[in-house]
Structure 1
Amino acid sequence: MAKSAPLFAALLGVALTASALAADDSTPAKAPAVTADSSTDGTVTVGGQRIAYTAVAGTLTVGATEEEDAQLGADGNPLAGTQAALDAASDKDAKEKPPVARIFYVAYFKKDVAHPEDRPVTFLYNGGPGSSTVWLHMGSFGPKHVVTATDQHLPAAPYKLVDNEYSLLDTTDLVFIDMPGTGFGRLVGKDKEKAFWGIDEDGHAFARFIARFISKYNRWNSPKYLFGESYGTTRSAVVSNILENEKDIDLNGVILLSQIFNFNADIDAARMNPGIDLPFETGLPTYAATAWYHHKLPSQPAALEPFLKEVEDYAFGEYAHALALGSDLPAAEKQQVAEKLHEYTGLSVAYLLKADLRVSGGGFTKNLQDDDDLTTGRLDTRFSGPSLNPLSEESEYDPQSSAISSAYVALFNDYVRRDLKYGEGQTYLPEADFGSHEWDMKHNGNPIGVNVSGDLATAMKTNPRLKVMVNGGYYDLATPFYAAYYEDKHLPIPQALTSNIEFDWYESGHMVYVNDASLAKLHDRVAAFIRSTEVGNK
């Protein structure tokens, strides 16, 4: 999901029992063997093709630095004769030992493949930062799919889980990875949160996980893909650069869903960053799409996409010019801009003038349907719900998140234990509880607003065959689609590499896959992207 906050815990060079893993803060002084990986078989039919697969649910352990990681064996235990082995054997409390993360994952391997070591493998993860990957796992390409209504709050349990006819197992093996400290994963050791909860720390942990995974399953020669959603796209930019330039692991493709690279363009925090008008400009097309969907425009266009093209041109033409003038904008021109924004957003001219032509994401979702005492969704603006406080300035919750989260969490908890035979007696953490441990938003030591565009650009320049696929929903106000387009059109790459990037938009929200029609398109486009890039990026 978008910018939620999950829970982390993991383990040192020692192993945790199932009961220890069930605790939210697992830092025992001594710990017996960790729960073994679980392997099960299943089938799913995709495009009329019956696919037999093996699912593996388990954990891989990574160290907090390259040196510490190198002291861990394939089983996550310290190698004999290393400092990690001495620390593990010592009597000092586990929380005083070097930090490690035991990362939970579920991998799906297609059976009856002639050369499985050559088959594409895709690593998928959600964002937050702080989210597990339960959303992508149960909503997008796994063999099971949570049934959701288009834009309505689901009834309470029992929820419905079905075979996923749009699983990507027809094209690639799949590895769903939970962020360190979420899912059934745990963190252990001295300063464990500091060691893994930050842009750079997290990126290196995922890169180490991927390197360990391809070693464990002999996938070094497989075509490799990253698939990140939301903050997961931020992570993908960082991880792609680490894999390419620190680990000599070339990627065939990076698949981005609901992208955010430049946090200065964050529409949620736009009014907290005076003088930076980019979020208002890149967010305007999403405002327009949302008003169109809810029939709040003074004149309703017949089709969405031609209307959005008109709004995009205005956003970076007259609107951008007006905002750039700041307090020098003449009153008459300001009135004209407010009236045009009214035509594109449905918000009143008076409100737009009061907002100084700059409406934050929360301000828009609170006010668009305010006459009906409704708050508009953020992750998916097609959703609506009763306003918590009719007098509030901005929205106070997200109706879309409230509508479907319970179904995803409940069905995964049932599925992982019933079908995957993993997690009995343990607690699954869908999100990290940061508590007093803030996520470190500094990147490469830079305290200025985060922008990881340079990481992906470096990966693309050092591997000029690397292809990038950008996916986004028109109704996503967490990471507006046009912000992604703007970011990627401004990557510091040679003109010759711009053709390595493709853009795909959907009539859906942040979680494109909650809409079955959009999921079908997402499957077909991603499958085509992988097929076109798995044979040497021709």
Structure 2
Amino acid sequence: MYTAKAGTQPVWDEKGKILATVQYTYYTRDNITDLARRPLLISFNGGPGSASVWMELAYTGPKLLHIDDEGYPLQPYGVKDNPYSILDVADIIYVNPINTGYSRILDEKADRATFFGTNADIRYLAEWLNTFVTRHNRWSSPKYLIGESYGTTRVSGLALELQNAQWMYLNGVMLVSPTDLGISRDGAIEKALRLPYFAATAWYHKKLSADLQSRSLESLLEEVEKYTLDIFLPAVARGYSLPKADRERIVQQVAAYSALPIAVVEQNNLDISTSLFWKELRRGDGYTIGRLDSRYLGIDMREAGERPDYNAELTSWLHSFTPAINHYFWNDLGYRTDVKYNMFGPVHPWDRSDDRTGLSLRQAMAANPYLHLMVQSGYFDGATDYFNAKYNMWQMDPSGKLASRMRFKAYKSGHMMYLRKDDLIQATNDIRQFINETLPKDNQAAKYE
């Protein structure tokens, strides 16, 4: 049994004036007597400008979206009990930053820059969380942050901001489909790191040659990752200085791994954009593939062109999530309001300058021996792909001194890997295991030996 509370909590300025209100849903397991041993999971989604609906109704919470086993919409819309919820191991708060969900700016004169920027977002939410933890008597609880997509930028920055500005220390951070976390990858790196995602997606759509297609996905990607780092990346860096014979061999191999025509790889000088890949892979079948989850198919007005007309996966998700969250708040939670639930809210312009969130997370981990990291990625996510997520970890901690406190999990799905039932089961088990394994044992001191 559990208790669900949907509520709001203000955001104040330094003089105590209310500027805005942040809406949240707080789930607590009943009959817990020792909060000092009961973990609290603080959950954010991304955008920026996206509500927390996605993980609340389809991943960790006690209710589960009515969709099929692969994640596609079903009618009637709504939710059912989630037998895989991680409420057995942690209480959860889902937070909707300003202008997402039911959260809104209340003071018309409030400076939007207070809320809409990488570092501003982190600062006000850290203050907000301090108040929430105090009001709900959770200071003694082990604390975890989980963020999805841009939410990974948010929680990576929050790990250090909570620690340095609020003196609140964490046990774990979970990054679901992480962004670049402010870690630069321009030029050859950016171009080369896409190849493993291309290969994974081509494998899913059965577009590879027979010898590659017959391989397990994991075996194939191990080969493609090695090729990417050892051969493809140096070749891209060489540019026109790459010998002609070498260039021809690499064009052919990239075409083989990506299932794209040799001419397309050649004409683009080994620099295949993701948007072109989404348009090209199934062009001959009359379909495009999804950005955030490339298992999804779309239909464009014209088969010609270099990018799809729309995001096939996002329209599918909004189809099922939007009626479900509105019905859930009104009927199940009894949260009655005429304020529109913003699946995506107006938060632009968003100040992305001075994004050092990946390095902030590393610093928080270095300063807190209790703090662990888990990354979860879908092989078929073309927006925040799994190989770039690995690259984040390598560059956050190039010395490898924190590697024993980092773990990486991948799934045969996309950006929201939990929409696929098999991956929901595995991913929630991975969270459960992560929390259980990162809770300190009795009398285990936070220190380096």
With normalisation by structure 2, the TM-score equals 0.94
* Aligned ranges 1:374-385 → 2 under 5 Å: 374-385=287-298
2:23 to 86, 100, 104: 104
2:38 to 98, 119, 141: 119
The offset of 1:194, in angstroms, is 1.7
Number of residue pairs matched by the alignment: 440
Q: Secondary structure at the match of 1:490?
A: helix
In structure 2, what is the equivalent of residue 485 of structure 1?
390
The offset of 1:149, in angstroms, is 3.2
Q: Deviations over 1:67-93 (max 9, x none)?
A: 34xx2xxxxxxxxxxxx3xxxxxxxxx
Q: Deviations over 1:196-223 (max 9, x none)?
A: 0000110112211211111010000000
The offset of 1:464, in angstroms, is 2.5
The answer on 1:517 being equivalent to 2:422 is yes
Q: Deviations over 1:427-484 (max 9, x none)?
A: 21111124xx4101112xxxxxx45221111111111321001111111111011111
- How far apart, in 1, do the equivalents of 2:423 and 2:249 lie? 37
In structure 1, what is the equivalent of residue 237 of structure 2?
324
* Aligned ranges 1:269-284 → 2 under 5 Å: 276-284=187-195
* Aligned ranges 1:24-173 → 2 under 5 Å: 52-64=1-13, 67-68=14-15, 71=16, 84=17, 100-149=19-68, 154=73, 157-173=75-91
Q: Does the 8 Å CA contact 2:365/2:371 hold for their aligned counterparts?
A: yes
In structure 1, what is the equivalent of residue 359 of structure 2?
454
The offset of 1:533, in angstroms, is 1.6
- Percent identity reads 33
* Aligned ranges 1:116-515 → 2 under 5 Å: 116-149=35-68, 154=73, 157-189=75-107, 190-262=109-181, 276-299=187-210, 300-434=213-347, 437-443=348-354, 450-492=355-397, 494-515=399-420
- How far apart, in 1, do the equivalents of 2:314 and 2:49 lie? 15
Q: Does the 8 Å CA contact 2:172/2:435 hold for their aligned counterparts?
A: yes
- How far apart, in 2, do the equivalents of 1:361 and 1:460 lie? 33
In structure 2, what is the equivalent of residue 35 of structure 1?
none
- How far apart, in 1, do the equivalents of 2:225 and 2:70 lie? 25
Q: Deviations over 1:134-175 (max 9, x none)?
A: 1111110111111323557535x4224211011110010010
Q: Secondary structure at the match of 1:478?
A: coil
Q: Deviations over 1:201-249 (max 9, x none)?
A: 1011221121111101000000000000011011111100101111111
Q: Does the 8 Å CA contact 1:198/1:439 hold for their aligned counterparts?
A: yes
Q: Does the 8 Å CA contact 2:63/2:79 hold for their aligned counterparts?
A: yes
Q: Secondary structure at the match of 1:472?
A: strand
Q: Which ranges in structure 2 are unaligned for 5 or more consecutive residues?
A: 445-449
Q: Which amino acid aligns with 1:63?
A: W
- How far apart, in 1, do the equivalents of 2:322 and 2:36 lie? 33
Q: Deviations over 1:347-371 (max 9, x none)?
A: 0000001111111111111100000
- How far apart, in 1, do the equivalents of 2:396 and 2:277 lie? 29
Q: Does the 8 Å CA contact 1:464/1:497 hold for their aligned counterparts?
A: no
Q: Max radius of gyration: which structure?
A: 1
Q: Deviations over 1:290-326 (max 9, x none)?
A: 0001011123133110000000000111101110101
Q: Does the 8 Å CA contact 1:469/1:529 hold for their aligned counterparts?
A: yes
- How far apart, in 2, do the equivalents of 1:412 and 1:376 lie? 26
Q: Secondary structure at the match of 1:59?
A: strand
The offset of 1:490, in angstroms, is 1.4
Q: Does the 8 Å CA contact 2:397/2:403 hold for their aligned counterparts?
A: no
- How far apart, in 2, do the equivalents of 1:432 and 1:132 lie? 8
Q: Deviations over 1:482-514 (max 9, x none)?
A: 111111111146533221101111111100110
Q: Does the 8 Å CA contact 1:244/1:462 hold for their aligned counterparts?
A: no
- How far apart, in 2, do the equivalents of 1:472 and 1:264 lie? 17
**Worse-superposed segment, 352-361 or 144-153:** 144-153
Q: Deviations over 1:264-290 (max 9, x none)?
A: 768xxxxxx6xx122232221111010
- How far apart, in 1, do the equivalents of 2:313 and 2:116 lie? 27
Q: Which amino acid aligns with 2:349?
A: E
Q: Secondary structure at the match of 1:211?
A: helix
Cα gap change, 1:326/1:493 in structure 2, threshold over 3 Å: closer, same or farther? closer
- How far apart, in 1, do the equivalents of 2:368 and 2:269 lie? 45
The offset of 1:346, in angstroms, is 0.3
Q: Does the 8 Å CA contact 1:117/1:218 hold for their aligned counterparts?
A: no
Cα gap change, 1:495/1:317 in structure 2, threshold over 3 Å: closer, same or farther? closer
In structure 2, what is the equivalent of residue 40 of structure 1?
none
Q: Does the 8 Å CA contact 1:151/1:383 hold for their aligned counterparts?
A: no
Q: Which amino acid aligns with 1:412?
A: I
Q: Which amino acid aligns with 2:237?
A: A
Q: Which amino acid aligns with 2:343?
A: P
Please give the root-mean-square deviation of Cα atoms over the aligned residues, in Å: 1.8
- How far apart, in 1, do the equivalents of 2:377 and 2:71 lie? 21
Q: Secondary structure at the match of 1:496?
A: coil
The offset of 1:393, in angstroms, is 1.1
- How far apart, in 2, do the equivalents of 1:510 and 1:290 lie? 13
The offset of 1:101, in angstroms, is 2.5
Q: Secondary structure at the match of 2:402?
A: helix
Q: Does the 8 Å CA contact 1:453/1:491 hold for their aligned counterparts?
A: yes
The offset of 1:121, in angstroms, is 0.4
- How far apart, in 2, do the equivalents of 1:493 and 1:100 lie? 41
The offset of 1:400, in angstroms, is 1.0
In structure 1, what is the equivalent of residue 447 of structure 2?
none
Q: Does the 8 Å CA contact 2:379/2:411 hold for their aligned counterparts?
A: yes
